[in-house]
């Protein structure tokens, strides 16, 4: 096992980037988008104009990729969700200990696992060792509590910001580009940014740039997840930055989910939301989305933090309005014809605090196959959601909850179960490896953990397996 506390001597830094730096391949909010097949969720208006001109090179590398969803390894329009309940017993194996508030995981095609720590680091885990890749110079230090600390500070130095999402280019290591989402400050405000780095450079500080800049930020509600979808477009989840009204303002990326090419252009097929709208927006009306996954037929699914419970799992459609801040109570969806109904709304009596997620398709944990696995923060558990098309056989409810009411998405029935309760603490993200193994990271050193957490070994990267 590798100790994250030993990384300090060999940390590398991103080149400091001024907030006014030119955006690589990034369009102005009013730029038009073009229509073509997309990563699922094709409801809504589709633009038929061309995107603004922009290169497909970053740092001298050709980052262009095919955007054929049907060529995705996981593409299967005939997939079937499981009809049995998920296994009640799972086992975990620690791979790395003493990480400092890790936030995201992303695998390269060569098996390299990239990990972000919210205090400002990007790490790579390969061959059983952790090595530092970069430390974004402009990123805030989000702070942390000591491993084994007994205090519960709730609000560490950086709130919920810091170095958050990470995504390796779909063809990594050719090109060796890694994308990173982080929070930074100017004299007057906070912003979030998507940057990119050449992970193969002798000094990554000399090989970096900005893909998307000036995403509104605050102490809370920063979103932050980066994921490449089935058609190789980059999806970016953006929180409302504590200004709920921005979630309904399509000229701002706040409270939305963006979809762009690897070079930062609005993805072809993004919805036309009007002349003043940001063409990178795929969906809007989100409060604080922190996970995005895809069913095998390409349907995108997002997880989202709610206020006082009322956490949601949503099926994303192009141009979809998900209601925040006007609609969040379950019965409000009944009369909101212009708002998409959720797959899951936990209500006020249950609080998942859903963060990163994966639609698991591996064979290493057969009982979790073809289910949406969602990390739970305040719930300190793994939330397991089986999403079943309406009319098909759903798994038994048992110790779970069935979501099939009038206020839920009429095209699906979702059955939710909870596993690993209080075994790992705050599960920040769940990810599938190229070999089909299942991994998770914890965020127990962010000052909000309960019970025995954080332990002297926190935070950790673990592999999840079948108990048997």
Question: DSSP letter string over 73-100?
Answer: TT--TT----SSPPPS-EEEEEEEE--S
Confidence (pLDDT) at 55: 53
Q: Does any domain span residue 62?
A: no
Nearest to 270 by CA among 255, 261, 254, 259: 259
Whether 399 is covered by a domain: the verdict is yes
CA distance linking residue 296 with residue 374, whole number of Å: 17
Query: Residue 79 burial (CB < 10 Å; 0-12/13-18/19+)?
Result: middle
Tell me whether strands 163-168 and 129-134 are parallel, antiparallel or unpaired.
unpaired
- Strands (E) located in 68-225: 90-97, 102-107, 113-117, 121-126, 129-134, 163-168, 177-185, 190-198, 208-216
CB 284 within 8 A of CB 321: yes
Domain count across the chain: 1
Task: Write out the residue range of the structural domain in which residue 381 sits.
Answer: 2-6+77-466
pLDDT of residue 27: 33
The answer as to whether 247 is a domain residue is yes
Segments in the chain below pLDDT 70: 1-55, 153-155
Looking at the DSSP bridge assignments, the partners of residue 264 are: none
Percentage with pLDDT > 70 across the chain:
87
CA angle 406, 400, 225 (to 5 degrees): 80
Q: Is residue 227 part of a domain?
A: yes
Structural element, H or E, at residue 387: strand 382-389
Position 59 in a domain = no
**Per the domain annotation, does 93 fall within a domain?**
yes
Cβ atoms 444, 425 nearer than 8 A: yes
In CATH, what number is assigned to the domain containing residue 112? 2.120.10.30
pLDDT of residue 99: 97
Cβ-contact 445, 146 below 8 angstroms: yes
Residue 211 belongs to some domain of the structure: yes
Residue 184 lies in a domain: yes
% residues pLDDT > 90 (the chain): 82
- Cβ(370)–Cβ(80) under 8 Å? yes
pLDDT attached to residue 170? 98
pLDDT attached to residue 127: 85
């Amino acid at each position: 096992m590798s100790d994250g506390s030993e990384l300090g001597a060999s940390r590398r830094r991103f080149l400091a980037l001024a907030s006014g730096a030119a955006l690589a391949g990034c369009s102005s909010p009013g730029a038009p988008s073009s229509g073509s097949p997309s990563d699922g969720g094709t409801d809504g208006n589709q633009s038929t104009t061309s995107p603004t001109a922009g290169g497909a090179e970053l740092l001298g590398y050709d980052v262009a990729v095919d955007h054929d969803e049907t060529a995705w390894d996981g593409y299967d329009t005939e997939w079937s969700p499981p009809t049995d309940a998920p296994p009640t017993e799972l086992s975990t194996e620690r791979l790395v200990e003493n990480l400092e508030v890790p936030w995201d995981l992303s695998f390269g095609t060569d098996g390299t696992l990239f990990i972000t720590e919210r205090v400002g680091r990007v790490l790579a885990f390969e061959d059983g060792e952790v090595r530092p890749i970069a430390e974004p110079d402009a990123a805030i230090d989000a702070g942390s509590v000591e491993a084994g600390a007994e205090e519960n500070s709730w609000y560490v130095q950086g709130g919920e910001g810091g170095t958050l999402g990470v995504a390796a280019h779909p063809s990594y290591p050719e090109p060796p580009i890694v994308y990173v989402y982080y929070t930074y400050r100017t004299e007057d405000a906070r912003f979030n940014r998507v940057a990119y780095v050449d992970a193969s450079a002798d000094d990554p500080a000399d090989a970096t740039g900005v893909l998307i800049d000036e995403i509104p930020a605050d102490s809370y509600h920063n979103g932050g997840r980066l994921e490449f979808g089935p058609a190789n477009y980059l999806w970016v989840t953006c929180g409302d930055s504590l200004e709920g009204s921005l979630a309904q303002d399509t000229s701002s990326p706040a409270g939305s989910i963006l979809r762009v090419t690897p070079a930062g252009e609005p993805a072809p097929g993004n919805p036309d939301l009007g002349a003043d709208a940001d063409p990178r927006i795929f969906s809007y009306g989100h409060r604080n989305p922190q996970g995005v996954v895809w069913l095998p037929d390409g349907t995108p699914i997002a997880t989202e933090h709610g206020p006082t419970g009322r956490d949601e799992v949503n099926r994303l459609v192009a141009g979809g309005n998900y209601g925040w801040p006007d609609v969040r109570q379950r019965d409000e969806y009944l009369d909101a014809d212009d708002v998409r109904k959720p797959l899951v709304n936990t209500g006020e009596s249950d609080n998942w605090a859903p963060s990163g997620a994966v639609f698991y398709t591996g064979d290493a944990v057969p009982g979790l196959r073809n289910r949406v696995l969602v990390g739970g923060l305040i719930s300190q558990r793994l939330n397991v959601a089986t999403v079943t098309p309406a009319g098909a056989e759903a798994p038994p409810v048992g110790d779970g909850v069935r979501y099939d009411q009038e206020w839920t998405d009429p095209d699906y029935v979702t059955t939710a179960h909870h596993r690993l309760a209080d075994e790992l603490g705050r599960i920040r993200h769940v990810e599938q490896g190229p070999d089909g193994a299942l991994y998770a990271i914890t965020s127990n050193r962010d000052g909000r953990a309960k019970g025995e957490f954080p332990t002297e070994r926190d935070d950790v990267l673990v592999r999840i397996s079948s108990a048997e």
